[in-house]
Structure 1
Amino acid sequence: MKYLLVALLVVHGLIHLLGFTKAFGLAQPSQLQAAISRPMGILWLGAALLLIVSAILVLLAVQWWWAPAAVGVVLSQVLIFTTWNDAKAGTIANAILLIPIVVAALGAAPWSFRSLYNQEVAVNLAAHSQPSKLLTAADTAHLPPVVQRYLAFVGAMGKPQVVNYRLRFSGALRNQPERAWMPMTAHQQSFVNPPARLFLVESSLFGIPFNAFHRYVGADATFRVRLASLLTMVDAYGAEMNKSETVTLLNDMFILAPATLIDQRIHWEELDPLTVRATWTNAGNTVAAVVSFADSGALVNFVSDDRFMTSDGKSYQQLRWSTPVEDWREFDGRKLPARGETIWTLPGGEFAYGRFELQAVEYNVTE
Structure 2
Amino acid sequence: MRLVLTFLIGIHGIIHLFGFLKAFGITEFNAISQPISKTNGILWLLTFILFIVTTVMLIIQSNYWWTVGLIGVIISQFLIINYWSETKFGTILNLIILVSIIVAYSTFNFGKIVNAETSRLIKNSDNSTSTVVVDSMIIELPNVVRKWLLNSGIMGKDQINSVYLEQDLQMLMKPNQKEWNKANAQQYFTTDPPAFNWSVNLKMNSFLEVVGRDKFEDGKGEMIIKLLSLIPVANSKQNEKINQATLQRYLAEIVWFPSAALSPYITWKSIDEFSAKATMEYNGTKGSGTFYFDKDGNFEKFKAMRYQDSNAIDPIEWTVIATKIEERNGINIPVACEASWKLESGNWTWLKLKINHITYNAKPLL
Q: TM-score per shorter chain, which class? A: 0.7 to 0.9
| C-alpha displacement of 1:232 | 5.4
* Residue aligning to 1:341: 338
Q: How does 1:199-278 map to 2 (within 5 A)?
A: 199-203=198-202, 207-227=207-227, 228-231=229-232, 233-254=234-255, 256-264=256-264, 265-272=266-273, 274-278=274-278
**1:182·1:204 contact (CA, 8 Å) conserved in 2?**
yes
Deviations 1:96-155 (A, max 9, x none): 12112112223444xx5x444333222232222214233334433444454445445544
CA 1:48–1:342: 2 relative to 1, 3 Å: same
Q: How does 1:37-56 map to 2 (within 5 A)?
A: 43=46, 45-56=48-59
One-letter identity of the residue aligned with 2:156: G
Match of 2:361 among 356, 361, 364: 364
One-letter identity of the residue aligned with 2:56: V
Pair 1:102 & 2:102 matched = yes
CA 1:309–1:120: 2 relative to 1, 3 Å: same
**1:280·1:288 contact (CA, 8 Å) conserved in 2?**
yes
| C-alpha displacement of 1:285 | 4.1
Name the CA distance, whole Å, in 1 between partners of 2:202 and 2:308: 20
**Aligned partner of residue 187 in structure 1, secondary structure:** strand
* Residue aligning to 2:317: 320
**1:162·1:364 contact (CA, 8 Å) conserved in 2?**
yes
One-letter identity of the residue aligned with 1:56: I
Pair 1:165 & 2:198 matched = no
**1:271·1:277 contact (CA, 8 Å) conserved in 2?**
no
**2:202·2:209 contact (CA, 8 Å) conserved in 1?**
yes
Deviations 1:212-231 (A, max 9, x none): 33232223223233444354
| C-alpha displacement of 1:335 | 4.4
Give the aligned length.
356
| C-alpha displacement of 1:234 | 3.9
Which segments of 5 or more consecutive residues in structure 1 lack a partner in the other structure? none
Pair 1:117 & 2:122 matched = no
Task: Report the TM-score, using the length of structure 1 for normalisation.
Answer: 0.79
Deviations 1:215-273 (A, max 9, x none): 3222322323344435453435422222222211111112x21121122432131522x
Larger displacement relative to structure 2 (119-128 or 206-215): 206-215
* Residue aligning to 1:184: 183
**Aligned partner of residue 223 in structure 1, secondary structure:** strand
| C-alpha displacement of 1:25 | 11
Name the CA distance, whole Å, in 1 between partners of 2:185 and 2:307: 21
Q: How does 1:107-146 map to 2 (within 5 A)?
A: 107-109=107-109, 112=110, 114-130=111-127, 131-146=129-144
One-letter identity of the residue aligned with 1:105: Y
Name the CA distance, whole Å, in 1 between partners of 2:190 and 2:174: 31
Which segments of 5 or more consecutive residues in structure 2 lack a partner in the other structure? none
One-letter identity of the residue aligned with 2:298: A
One-letter identity of the residue aligned with 1:241: I
**1:171·1:355 contact (CA, 8 Å) conserved in 2?**
yes
Measured on the aligned residues, the alpha-carbon RMSD in Å equals: 3.7
| C-alpha displacement of 1:331 | 4.6
Deviations 1:265-308 (A, max 9, x none): 32131522x43333333334443323233455432221122x11
One-letter identity of the residue aligned with 2:322: V
**Aligned partner of residue 176 in structure 1, secondary structure:** coil
**Aligned partner of residue 130 in structure 2, secondary structure:** coil
CA 1:168–1:11: 2 relative to 1, 3 Å: farther
* Residue aligning to 1:156: 154
Pair 1:288 & 2:291 matched = no
One-letter identity of the residue aligned with 1:247: Q
Deviations 1:27-71 (A, max 9, x none): 9898788879785675255224322223225xx4x5444223323
CA 1:309–1:281: 2 relative to 1, 3 Å: same
Name the CA distance, whole Å, in 2 between partners of 1:10 and 1:291: 56
Pair 1:350 & 2:351 matched = no
Name the CA distance, whole Å, in 2 between partners of 1:247 and 1:125: 21
